[in-house]
Structure formats: structure tokens, C-alpha cells
């Protein structure tokens, strides 16, 4: 059975005290997760140790970094290496979030390096893909995301690829006033799985969780997560509200 995941992406938000309070409120809900279900918290770098410590006795709750550098080490002031993440017990890292691609010009080739360095340091990449509005309006979304997978992931051996987590972000529906339907979410997730199956084989493709990253909220999580090829969500704003993220975790099928 594929893993089902509710992943919180706190982005650049919250003071340390606010972060502790939010995490405590979510954990106080005492949600029972099955063995194939995970709640992952991608928190700012200064909060990684605190979050890992809070989750230490909860095997279905994990901590993730929001990014890492593609090189092992060196003169890269302000950057964080995957080896550093591993050394403090961080097991997951978001790679290629749409905001990193847009604001920091991260390329597919650079992201392939980040995927490699994560795996070399026993950190599972949560690899993000997705198309902007112009691509969606031109009807080229399928080939666009296929190329993202091809250039960043297709160099991996199948045994490594099956350890990936993928998050699909419909960038065109985030902050644009446009809304992605449940049908559109399922359609793209099915396409992504077919692309993975064509390259890595059905067995691998059917093991890779594909999360939906398009404004998942407490009110729509259950409907979205019910789609055949949607295995949970990468959640932004709603993950900053304890009651909302609790409901999103509970919506895992």
C-alpha cells in the first residue's frame, strides 16, 4: 500500500515561540495514524531540532527541511547541506518547490543534483513539480511536468526512484483567483504516475506517493484525498492553523 501523507510547509513563517505553540496544538489532537500514513512538518531551518525533538516518540510524525544545497560542502555562505540535515536526524527535504524555482531560478538540472545529494545522505526528497498559468492556458501542462520529471528524476535507478515522494503544484491555481477542480487534480496525478510507470515500471510508479499542493484546506482535503492517484497533500497556509491541519491529517484515507 502506498504511503498517504499530510505534509505541512510552514515556509518563512512563525517565530520560534509561535512554532512551538502550533506544533503542540496539533500534537495535542492525538490523531491515530495507520502504518502507511505520515504527517510531515517542513519547518524553517532554525526550528528543525525543536520539531524533531517534539516528534521523537511519534513514529508516524516526521520533520522535513524546506530546501538544501546541491553540493556536499564548501564556501556557500548561508546554505545548508544535506549531510547537515542527516546529522541532526532530518529524514525528508522539499526539493524544487515552485517558489524556489521562481524566486531562486532553480533549474531541473540543479534539482537533479539536489535529489542525488539527498539520497547520498539518507534524506528522502519531496520533489515538487507543476506548471504555471501560461503553460496551462496553452494546454501544454502534461509535457511540461513530464519534462520536469525527465530532467530531474529519470537518471535515478528504479530502486532509488521508488523511495521518492512527489508533490504536484498547480501553480496556475495558487494566488491567481483560478481554482483547480478535483477532476483536474486526479487527471494530472494519473498522468504523473503514467509517466513514472513508462520509465521506471508499474511496480515502482505504484509505490511513489504523489501529493497535491494546490491550496489544500480542511474543507476540501477529504474530497481531494479520495482521488485514486492523490496520496495526500503538501499544505501551505492551512498548515499554519492547528485546527485546520488536524482536519487535513484526519482526511487521509
How far apart are alpha carbons 38 and 169 in whole angstroms?
20
How would you class 191 by CB atoms within 10 Å of its CB: exposed for 0-12, middle for 13-18, buried for 19 or more? Answer: middle
Contact between 213 and 177 under an 8 Å Cβ cutoff? The reply is no
Task: pLDDT band for 177, please (50, 70, 90 cuts).
Answer: low
The whole-angstrom separation of Cα 251 and Cα 231 is 11
Tens digits of residue pLDDT in 187-223: 999 999 999 999 999 999 999 999 999 889 999 999 9
Mean pLDDT along residues 19-31: 96
Task: Reply yes or no on whether the pLDDT at 135 is more than 70.
Answer: yes
Cell matching residue 94:
522539499
Candidate list 131, 169, 189, 247, residue with the active-site label: 169
Active-site choice (54, 97, 106, 247) = 97
pLDDT of residue 128: 98
Give yes or no for residue 179 having a pLDDT over 90. no
**Is residue 175 predicted with pLDDT exceeding 80?**
no
Average pLDDT over residues 135-141: 95
Q: How far is CA 23 from CA 29, 44, 61, 136, in A?
A: 10, 13, 11, 36
SS3 209: coil
Residue 253 has pLDDT above 90, yes or no: no
- List pLDDT tens digits, range 58-113: 999 999 999 999 999 999 999 999 999 999 999 999 999 999 999 999 999 999 99
| 22: confidence class by pLDDT, cuts 50, 70, 90 | very high
pLDDT of residue 174: 81
Q: Selecting from 3.65.10.10, 3.60.21.70, 3.40.50.300, 3.20.20.70, what CATH number does the domain 4-250 have? A: 3.20.20.70
Query: Residue 232's beta-bridge partner residues?
Result: 5
Length of the chain: 253
Burial of residue 161, with CB atoms counted within 10 A of its CB: 0-12 exposed, 13-18 middle, 19 or more buried: buried
Residue environment code for 42-66, b if the CB has 16+ CB neighbours within 10 A, otherwise e: bbbeebbeebbebbeeeebbbbbbb
- pLDDT of 182: 93
* Distance, CA of 48 to CA of 35 (rounded, Å): 23
> What value does the CA radius of gyration of the chain take, rounded to a whole number of Å?
17
- 145: cell is 511536468
Specify the pTM. Answer: 0.97
30 has pLDDT over 90:
no
Query: 83 catalytic, yes or no?
Result: no
Share of residues in the chain with pLDDT > 70 (%): 99
* DSSP 8-state class, residue 238: G
* Pairing of the two strands 61-65 and 124-129: unpaired
- 75-96 burial string, b = 16+ CB within 10 Å, else e? eeeeebbbbbbbeeebebbbbb
Query: 115, exposed or middle or buried, with CB in 10 Å at 0-12, 13-18, 19+?
Result: buried
Question: What's 223's DSSP letter?
Answer: H
Is 169 a catalytic site residue? yes
* Section 50-56 average pLDDT: 97
Report whether 230 contacts 185 (CB < 8 A): yes
Q: CA torsion sign, 140 to 180 to 14 to 92?
A: negative
Q: CB under 8 Å to 144, separation ≥6 — which residues?
A: 131, 135
CB atoms closer than 10 angstroms to residue 238: 20
Amino acid at each position: 500500500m502506498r504511503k498517504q501523507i499530510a505534509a505541512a510547509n510552514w515556509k518563512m513563517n512563525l517565530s520560534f515561540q509561535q512554532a512551538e505553540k502550533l506544533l503542540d496544538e496539533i500534537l495535542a489532537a492525538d490523531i491515530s495514524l495507520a502504518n502507511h500514513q505520515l504527517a510531515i512538518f517542513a519547518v524553517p531551518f532554525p526550528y528543525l531540532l525543536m520539531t524533531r525533538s517534539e516528534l521523537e516518540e511519534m513514529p508516524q510524525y516526521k520533520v522535513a527541511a524546506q530546501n538544501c544545497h546541491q553540493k556536499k560542502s564548501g564556501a556557500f555562505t548561508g546554505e545548508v547541506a544535506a549531510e547537515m540535515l542527516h546529522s541532526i536526524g532530518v529524514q525528508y527535504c522539499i526539493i524544487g518547490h515552485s517558489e524556489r524555482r521562481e524566486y531562486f531560478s532553480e533549474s531541473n538540472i540543479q534539482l537533479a543534483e539536489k535529489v542525488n545529494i539527498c539520497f547520498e545522505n539518507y534524506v528522502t526528497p519531496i520533489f515538487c513539480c507543476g506548471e504555471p498559468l501560461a503553460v496551462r492556458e496553452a494546454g501544454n501542462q502534461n509535457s511540461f511536468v513530464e519534462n520536469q520529471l525527465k530532467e530531474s528524476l529519470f537518471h535515478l535507478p528504479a530502486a532509488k526512484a521508488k523511495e521518492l515522494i512527489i508533490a504536484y503544484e498547480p501553480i496556475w491555481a495558487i494566488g491567481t483567483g483560478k481554482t483547480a477542480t478535483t477532476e483536474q487534480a486526479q487527471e494530472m496525478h494519473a498522468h504523473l504516475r503514467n509517466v513514472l510507470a513508462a520509465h521506471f515500471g508499474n511496480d515502482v510508479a505504484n509505490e511513489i506517493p504523489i501529493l497535491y499542493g494546490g491550496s489544500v484546506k480542511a474543507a476540501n482535503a477529504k474530497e481531494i484525498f479520495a482521488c485514486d492517484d492523490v496520496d495526500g497533500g503538501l499544505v501551505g497556509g492551512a498548515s499554519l492553523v492547528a485546527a485546520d491541519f488536524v482536519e487535513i491529517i484526519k482526511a487521509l484515507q
